[in-house]
Structure 1
Amino acid sequence: MSTGSGADSAPAPPATDPTPVKQTMFSSLRVRNYRLFAIGQVVSNTGTWMQRIAQDWLVLSLTGSASAVGITIALQFLPMLLFGLYGGVLADRLPKRRLLLATQAAMGATGVALAVLTLSGQVQVWHVYLTAFLLGLVTVVDNPARQTFVAEMVGPDQLRNAVSLNSANFQSARLVGPAVAGVLITAVGSGYAFLFNGLSFLAPIAGLLLMRPAEFHRIDRAPRGKGQLREGLRYVAGKPELIWPIVLVGFIGTFGFNFPIWLAAFVDDVFHADAGTYGLLNTLMAAGSLAGALLAARRGSSRLRMLVGAAILFGFLEVVTAFAPTFWIFALMMVPIGMFGLTVNVTANSSVQLATDPLMRGRVMSLFMMVFTGGTPFGAPLVGWVTDTYGPRIGFAAGGAVAMLAAAAVGLMLARAGGLRLSVGWHHGHPQVRFVPRAELAPAA
């Protein structure tokens, strides 16, 4: 079994403090390498959110079609569906810091290229399609490498906390990015948002270069060999605690997370507003997501029943919000939707990583991300068509209903795999719904 060599792989975990760090909301930030990583990511994530808002609004401006926005999103995530598992194999084999230096530079280049096209007045919708597809190709490798690199920086004791803070980092940027993008688009156009995104990748590149490789935790790297894709799939298929959470995030990612389509359509067709309102809705959702991420960082465990419950509530809230009678009710509902959506994402991510052998983590997480984002090439055009044909309210409600039903079905499958059954009864005068061992009698009324 190869353990790798070179500047990115240390012979042993850092010996500066053998005592496990106490778990607090921000405990993983005490690790210098992770702190550098987090600072770089919050800058680049802000740029990423600016580009997402500007890209969606630019496509809508060029075409006037929610379906075209869906096609753009589909093209960005299509490479993950086609090649996602290969990215996981590379993440398991290669030094992750070097890999991330290459992918972050390439992602910055796509932002600069789109900025040049837009600022020169030459941009056409196919340029946006092509840029989205190229960005998706780079993400195939970047995503599993970035997800699994966290374990090398913080070690197993702080992994759950660091995964939650990664999401909090992303959502903090989401608070700022859409608002700034809305102002920039209104004032000077989309091009400067793309330019900021391209330049923002200098921050994570600098953070990676400033890290101390000797302080990385030792993670064995998978040797080169045949059949590693099939090995990863067999590994996941044999573990219900992996396969069912991945199935659930697949349904939710495909049908429940198409917010660029729905929010753009609501702003344009229902509320007749502008890019600033689109940015506001994204910012409110980010506020809820940030709260969900920080609460997840504070929790000490990631239970599968929490995953299923949060997913059911997430889908239910989407259905209710779809028929909100006024703009401000609709806008305020973005907060709990963001909170429960993020809880689903963080709980699934951390529970899958912690249940996976480190040698398999790159392939398992690439499958996780492939299913979560790879369904978008199918879901986004379909949701876009439903939204265009039947209206934003029906499109939004349909996505939420699929997410809610999928969560209920997965909950029943996990209960069956764990030898549990649903028990409905009364406890101290209150109705109670819970899963109990099959041999346990239901509580008496």
Structure 2
Amino acid sequence: MNRLVEVAVPERLGRGYRWLLASSWTSNLGDGIALAAGPLLVASLTDNAFLVSLAALLRWAPPLVFGLYAGVLSDRLDRRRIVMAADGLRAVVLVALVALLVTGHLPVAGALVAIGLLTVGEVFADNAAATIAPMLVQRDDLVLANARLQAGYITLNNLVGPPLGALLFAAGHVWPFAAESLLVAAGVVLVSRMALPAVPAASDRPAGVRHAVVEGLRWTAGHAAVRTLSLTILIFNFTFGAAWSVLVLYAQQRLGLGPTGFGLFTMLGAVGGLAGTGMYGWLTRHVSLGNIMRAGLIIETLTHLSLALTTSAWLAGGIMFVFGAHAFIWGTTSLTVRQRAVPTHLQGRVGSVNTISTFGGLVVGSLIGGVLATQIGVTAPFWFAFGGSAVFVVLLWRSLTRIAHG
């Protein structure tokens, strides 16, 4: 067993990193359960496409609203305590949600409010957690450390969690959220065992929140690789958000899938992510980061087109598998380039700029997706995503090579 642990999480990464990894994996399993159960809960309370897309909006809007402030807090306060406090509040919200479900008094508005509050807590927890690994491991070990964290995210949040959440939801609407509350609380306990080195003294930081935010924005704008990543993520989440905001309705109405089928459908993306994990090392040794990014954006564009055309659940599942591999490769590249490039005292703020880029696109896209699905049909957001992505690939094609200098 000790040898297996050493292979999976080498001792050189440190005890603190092992506690971080255990907490991350535990919390990710809970979040993965909610990934399927959340949309299913809203869809069980209403069949209004706009309200279903609003649930996606409430998962994506809080990072846009609170992301920059979360970055400032991560650079100023104890990052471990931020994770503990934010996830502790999420556990409380989940307990309240469970109570409303048990008593049968949960309206659609209550479910939407709960989704919003859970996401607000996640914004602060995730921003702080993303800055911890560079504090615990050496720069040359960041690829390995991030790969282990991402493998847990893919396996538990995307692969195991969604089908488990769908199965628990089918057994009873309360069960997935009760399970998530326990897992999130366990993650708090695990991260509490970790000790962090000191961050730069307060006198080294800007005096006000506004100055701190501006410093993070200015640094991002001045670094070619990180700037290109943020711009690309913003643009492509604009189209991605339009399509994925109604994914649960697409699976039900276009592919004829029930709750369990929807969980398995999303799980195929996670399986693809695991495949991307296996090939990532080979890719980065043989293909430039710029060309990896170019190929990934072509794959994403064709994903939207293929899903708009097909009515076959099997073919759509294959498409999700390929998309999942692309998503892991993209995410790992983005995270490692950013962590290696950004100074420790700016990790939170520059990470929050990336969060703003991610969720800014998702928020706008989800609103467009909800309107298109309501007025035209459930495939309309996918056609919109295909057209927009194709245009953006052409516009961004030459600038994507800048990432190779990260």
TM over 0.5: yes
Distance 2:233 2:11 in 1: 26
CA contact (8 A) 1:248 1:407 kept: no
Alignment match of 1:334 (pick from 317, 320, 332): 320
Alignment match of 1:136 (pick from 97, 115, 119): 119
Alignment match of 2:373 (pick from 387, 393, 399): 387
Look up the match of 1:264. Answer: 248
Matched, 1:106 2:89: yes
Look up the match of 1:183. Answer: 167
Alignment of 1:41-440 (within 5 A): 41-173=24-156, 174-188=158-172, 190-211=173-194, 213=195, 216=196, 219-220=199-200, 223=205, 225-226=207-208, 227-257=211-241, 260-296=244-280, 303-415=289-401
Change (3 A) 1:294 1:388: farther
CA contact (8 A) 1:25 1:161 kept: no
The CA deviation string for residues 311-350 of structure 1, in whole angstroms up to 9 with x for no partner, is 2222222312321242211122210011112222221222
The structure with the larger Rg is 1
Change (3 A) 1:317 1:417: closer
Comparing 394-403 with 370-379, greater Cα deviation is found at: 394-403
Query: Which amino acid in structure 2 is aligned with residue 373 of structure 1?
Result: F
The CA deviation string for residues 270-324 of structure 1, in whole angstroms up to 9 with x for no partner, is 2333101111101111111222234436766782432232122222223123212
CA contact (8 A) 1:240 1:414 kept: no
Gaps of at least 5 residues in structure 1 are 1-23, 420-445
How far apart are 1:202 and its partner, in Å? 2.4
How far apart are 1:259 and its partner, in Å? 6.2
Query: Which amino acid in structure 2 is aligned with residue 405 of structure 1?
Result: V
Look up the match of 1:35. Answer: 18
Distance 1:31 1:324 in 2: 48
Comparing 264-273 with 49-58, greater Cα deviation is found at: 264-273
Query: Which amino acid in structure 2 is aligned with residue 168 of structure 1?
Result: A
Percent of paired sites with the same residue: 23
CA contact (8 A) 2:291 2:401 kept: no
Distance 1:297 1:209 in 2: 32
How far apart are 1:28 and its partner, in Å? 8.1
Change (3 A) 1:120 1:145: same
Q: Helix, strand or coil for the counterpart of 2:50? A: helix
Gaps of at least 5 residues in structure 2 are 1-6
Change (3 A) 1:260 1:113: farther
Query: Which amino acid in structure 2 is aligned with residue 282 of structure 1?
Result: T
Change (3 A) 1:25 1:319: farther
Query: Which amino acid in structure 2 is aligned with residue 62 of structure 1?
Result: L
How far apart are 1:132 and its partner, in Å? 1.9
Comparing 382-391 with 120-129, greater Cα deviation is found at: 382-391
Distance 2:346 2:60 in 1: 23
The CA deviation string for residues 219-242 of structure 1, in whole angstroms up to 9 with x for no partner, is 535535131111111111122211
Query: Which amino acid in structure 1 is aligned with residue 356 of structure 2?
Result: M
Change (3 A) 1:358 1:297: farther
Distance 1:360 1:64 in 2: 44
Query: Which amino acid in structure 1 is aligned with residue 331 of structure 2?
Result: N
Distance 2:51 2:271 in 1: 28
Q: Helix, strand or coil for the counterpart of 1:310? A: helix
Distance 2:169 2:404 in 1: 51
The CA deviation string for residues 362-397 of structure 1, in whole angstroms up to 9 with x for no partner, is 110011012112332221121122223332333223
Distance 2:78 2:278 in 1: 30
TM-score normalised by length of structure 1: 0.81
How far apart are 1:415 and its partner, in Å? 4.5
TM-score normalised by length of structure 2: 0.88
Distance 1:68 1:392 in 2: 14
Paired residues, what number?
393
Query: Which amino acid in structure 2 is aligned with residue 291 of structure 1?
Result: A
The CA deviation string for residues 118-156 of structure 1, in whole angstroms up to 9 with x for no partner, is 122111111112112222322332222111111112231
CA RMSD, Structure 1 to Structure 2 (Å): 2.6
CA contact (8 A) 1:42 1:170 kept: yes
The CA deviation string for residues 390-414 of structure 1, in whole angstroms up to 9 with x for no partner, is 3233322322443343344223224
